[in-house]
Amino acid sequence: MDPARRERFDETTPDRHYRTIAAAIAFIRAHAGAQPTLEEIAAAVHLSPHHLQRLFAVWAGISPKRFLQYLTKEYAKRRLAAAADVLSVAADAGLSSTSRLHDLMVSCEAMTPGEIKSGGRGLEIGHGFAPSPFGEALVAWTARGVCHFAFCIADEAAMLAELSARWPGATLMRDDARAGALLRQVFPATPTRGNIHLVLRGTNFQIKVWEALIHTEFGEVVSYSQLARQAGAPKAQRAVGSALAANSIGFLIPCHRVIRESGEAGHYRWGSDRKLAMLGWEAARGGM
């Protein structure tokens, strides 16, 4: 295998893998009714069928065909139907699956109204850009934990301007090496036990919604109505949607697991193709 091709499958280039997978997912979505073959999907992303199959195995742990099965409505609807009980059990036990995030336990605390009002005045916030299985991401943290996690859908200047606008009183300190280490903890090459603490900034209702999401199972999906019930407001589906849109900590607060009752993926702050990639990737690692 030539060096360029070796690099393509190197575990140190997950963002490059994601760009190819995202293009394949976009093609699959556009042609889902025809159930495209491996050869057709490979041609669309300019790879041979063999190399596409291998890339999927490296990236998702499953074949493109199995991934395509996940992306069908019927499969999503079956998972959605099972998710109600998963949510209630997890909430009653106060625990989430030991397989979630590769045994990474996520805990959180809310900022006080005074801290929010001050815009982080006097606070030092580290931040940096690093690759992830779903593309380049900007992650930021305080001494108390991660406060921002956004996938790059704009240039660096725009991403940093958004972060600065959320924390106008804070001192921002760039550290790409630390950002890379954090993302390797979130997305380890092999299952690894660890802990991530989140610092949440939102209304009481938004925080209830985000906490309910943190307790969902790795690889599971929930509907807006199921999540509203879990947050203690069964008629507040539109407010749940607003809470998801306000989430600035991607993946760790897994709003990508919320789909429509019909089984459609629905919208996602960082792109619907990325959302489908996350759901398929988690399903493959959660026993699909």
Q: What is the mean pLDDT of the chain?
A: 82
Q: What is the pLDDT of residue 230?
A: 86
CATH of the domain at 150: 1.10.10.10
Q: What is the pLDDT of residue 221?
A: 87
> Looking at per-residue confidence, does 255 or 216 come out higher?
255
Q: Could you tell me the two tokens for 264?
A: 């459609």
| Full domain range(s) for residue 53 | 3-70
| Residue ending a domain, choose from 15, 37, 70 | 70
pLDDT over 70 (residue 251): yes
pLDDT over 70 (residue 288): no
CB of 27 closer than 8 Å to CB of 45: yes
Q: What is the pLDDT of residue 245?
A: 93
Q: What is the pLDDT of residue 116?
A: 79
- The reply to whether 37 and 83 lie within a common domain is no
- The reply to whether 96 and 37 lie within a common domain is no
Q: What is the pLDDT of residue 13?
A: 63
- The reply to whether 86 and 174 lie within a common domain is yes
Rounded to an integer, the average pLDDT of 255-282 is 87
Rounded to an integer, the average pLDDT of 237-257 is 93
- The reply to whether 92 and 211 lie within a common domain is yes
Q: Could you tell me the two tokens for 275?
A: 């959302």
Residue 157 buriedness (CB in 10 A; 0-12 / 13-18 / 19+)? exposed
CB contact set of 63 (below 8 Å; sequence gap of 6+): 38, 53, 56, 57
Q: What is the pLDDT of residue 19?
A: 86
CB contact set of 144 (below 8 Å; sequence gap of 6+): 109, 197, 199
| Residue ending a domain, choose from 70, 86, 112 | 70
- The reply to whether 204 and 185 lie within a common domain is yes
CB of 21 closer than 8 Å to CB of 71: no
- The reply to whether 151 and 216 lie within a common domain is yes
The whole-model pTM stands at 0.80
pLDDT over 90 (residue 97): no
- The reply to whether 125 and 40 lie within a common domain is no
- The reply to whether 147 and 184 lie within a common domain is yes
**Distance (Å, whole) CA 91 – CA 74:** 26
Residue 107: count of CB within 10 angstroms of its CB: 10
Say whether 255 is catalytic. Answer: yes
Q: What is the pLDDT of residue 113?
A: 79
| Residue ending a domain, choose from 70, 94, 128 | 70
- The reply to whether 34 and 143 lie within a common domain is no
- The reply to whether 64 and 156 lie within a common domain is no
Count: domains in the chain: 2
- The reply to whether 124 and 9 lie within a common domain is no
Q: Could you tell me the two tokens for 72?
A: 């069908």
> Looking at per-residue confidence, does 253 or 25 come out higher?
253
Rounded to an integer, the average pLDDT of 256-272 is 87
- Please tell me which residue in 108, 147, 152, 255 is annotated as part of the active site: 255
- The reply to whether 63 and 78 lie within a common domain is no
Q: pLDDT-derived band of residue 191, with 50, 70 and 90 as boundaries?
A: low
Q: Could you give the percent of the chain with pLDDT greater than 70? A: 84
Give pLDDT tens digits for 14-66. Answer: 677 788 888 888 888 888 778 888 999 999 999 999 999 888 877 877 788 77
CB contact set of 40 (below 8 Å; sequence gap of 6+): 27, 31
